[in-house]
Structure 1
Amino acid sequence: MSKKTSTKKPATKTVKAKPAKKAPTKKAAARPDAVVEATGECPKGGSHEWTEEGDEKFCTKCKEPQGSKAKPAKGKKAKRTKPAVDKKMSALDAAAKLLEETKEPMNTKAMIETIAAKGYWTSPGGKTPHATLYSAILREITTKGKEARFKKTDRGNFAFNG
């Protein structure tokens, strides 16, 4: 008789480590030289107790100084204000300006040539800027409908919708 050897591995038990407990933090109110004031709004929202240390006041719960700016509520992004910078005109904006000035329908190849000649916009080096402009004009017409700056007059021709 031959003995059969088992290929099974012995069962091992995995144990997850528990997270370490955080050390308790000392409250500012426990200091003898600190003065606690219960009025005022915390910069992070809500009413908190303020602790006065020297010439500054801090929130006892979030440790923020009283003079700091409040952060926006969750879910809302703070709007950044950028200084007014003279931006380049897009090909679509330049085409609208050109069609408004000329008051006659044009195809996109003629628009690109005239826009470049007047200096409103220059191609960044693309091979078919007229096709890109054509696509952008059609996209504006389909998304904005009657409020679009352009209207299609004939096959391949567009005029200012004003």
Structure 2
Amino acid sequence: MATKKTAGTTKTAPAKNASAKKPAAKKQPATKTAKTTTAKNPASTKTANQKMSQIDAALAVLKKARKPMSGKEMVEAMAKQKLWTSRGGKTPDVTLYAAILRDLRKGTGARFKKAAFQAGSR
């Protein structure tokens, strides 16, 4: 830093270097935020205002029925129990079947299990 002498006082001129230290900014107090947690079972965290997904509703229907069901039977049961309704699609049972097949590809982590077909069970 350069110093200048003038009439009995000494002044220090600021350095022209860009790397001069600036005073530290005051830290703002940390604000508290609510912690968000993820649920292991998303179907159990649904409230009355939230809609359940088609595949979650199918899982709930199967657990309640405790028997194998076809896609069409599951869609009808979901509508009857007011868990899920179609938005006007032509083949919601086929859409559900495709979603279940995608879930089955997960292997040991799959939520669904394919039941053996029994002739005459319908």
Unaligned runs of 5+ in 1: 1-23, 30-35, 37-49, 51-57, 59-64, 70-79, 156-162
> For each residue in 1:67-93, what CA deviation from the matched residue of structure 2 results, as whole angstroms up to 9, or x when unmatched?
176xxxxxxxxxx959x8733111101
Amino acid of the residue matched to residue 27 of structure 2? Q
Amino acid of the residue matched to residue 95 of structure 2? T
Q: How many residues align?
A: 87
Q: Name whichever structure is richer in strand by fraction.
A: 1
Matched, 1:108 2:79: no
Tell me the CA shift for residue 124 of structure 1.
Answer: 1.5
Q: Which of 63, 66, 82 is the matching residue for 2:27?
A: 66
In percent, how many aligned pairs have the same letter? 40
Amino acid of the residue matched to residue 86 of structure 2? S
> For each residue in 1:91-116, what CA deviation from the matched residue of structure 2 results, as whole angstroms up to 9, or x when unmatched?
10111111111111000001000110
Superposed CA RMSD: 2.8
Would you identify which runs of 4 or more consecutive aligned residues in structure 1 move more than 4 Å?
Answer: none
Separation (CA, whole Å) in 2 of partners of 1:85 and 1:67: 37
Amino acid of the residue matched to residue 63 of structure 2? E
Separation (CA, whole Å) in 1 of partners of 2:46 and 2:27: 35
Partner of 1:147: 109
Matched, 1:128 2:91: yes
TM-score, scaled to structure 1 = 0.46
Amino acid of the residue matched to residue 150 of structure 1? F
Unaligned runs of 5+ in 2: 1-16, 38-44, 118-122
Q: Which of 94, 110, 114 is the matching residue for 2:57?
A: 94
Q: Name whichever structure is richer in helix by fraction.
A: 2
